Structure 1
Amino acid sequence: LIEPTETESRDALDQFIAVLRSLARDAKAGNSARFTGAPYLTPRGRLDETKAARKPVLRWQPPAPAEAAE
């Protein structure tokens, strides 16, 4: 269940519903290619959750100068 804020326009909600229906159609049709590579437009791709669980980084450290330049 999703509850939109009052500031969302009717057009934005209609577009959101259309996207959800499209995703549901693809899932029912077995189009798994659309979902296996997701997320697509994030700064990081899929995170390695196994590595994060086995070797957690519990403290932030500033990046090395070479990494900061990238």
Structure 2
Amino acid sequence: QRLKNYFYLPYDQPCMHEFVLSGKDGKMKEVRTLDIAKRLLDFGFHPPTIYFPLIVKEALMIEPTETECKETLDAFASAMIQIRKEIEENPSAVKEAPHNLSIGRLDEVKACRELKLRW
């Protein structure tokens, strides 16, 4: 409920344990859902499923497990609200995330063109 004031909530009714937000509205032209997911890493959260379901543009499917405590869910909501504020005030902070990890953002095009299939 806290997030619906900051992100578009296409389905405003409970459905099992997950919910879907859209990372796209008129004020978020520069930032993609992928950028939001990468920024969540800086807050210590595993990024949600993105771009699914396909019927929601820039979808973020949030699926907290049943073992998550209320404090963790509140911290996640606070992180999402902070990210939304950053999108409006300093979008480059979100577009260039993650910042706090040992490895930053990968070049996705290069990774697709130069596959490394050994480990």
After TM superposition, the score normalised by the length of structure 1 is 0.63
Aligned with 2:71 (options 2, 11, 16): 11
The corresponding residue for 1:67 is none
Tell me, in whole angstroms, the C-alpha distance in 1 between the residues paired with 2:114 and 2:70: 46
Paired with 2:86 and 2:110, the residues of 1 have a C-alpha distance of 31
Shift of 1:18: 0.9
From the CA coordinates, give the structure whose radius of gyration is larger: 1
User: After superposition, where does 1:45-60 map in structure 2 within 5 Å?
Assistant: 45-60=104-119
The AA in structure 2 aligned to 1:45 is G
Specify every segment of 5 or more residues in structure 1 that has no aligned partner in the other structure, as ranges. 61-70
Within the candidate set 7, 10, 21, 2:81 is matched to 21
How far has the Cα of 1:14 moved from its partner? 0.8
Gaps of 5+ in 2: 1-19, 21-61
Tell me the residue number matched to 1:68: none
Q: 1:8 to 1:48 in 2, by over 3 A?
A: same
**Amino-acid identity (%):** 41
- Bigger proportion of residues as strand: 2
Count the aligned residue pairs. Answer: 59
Aligned-partner Cα distance in 2 for 1:35–1:16: 16
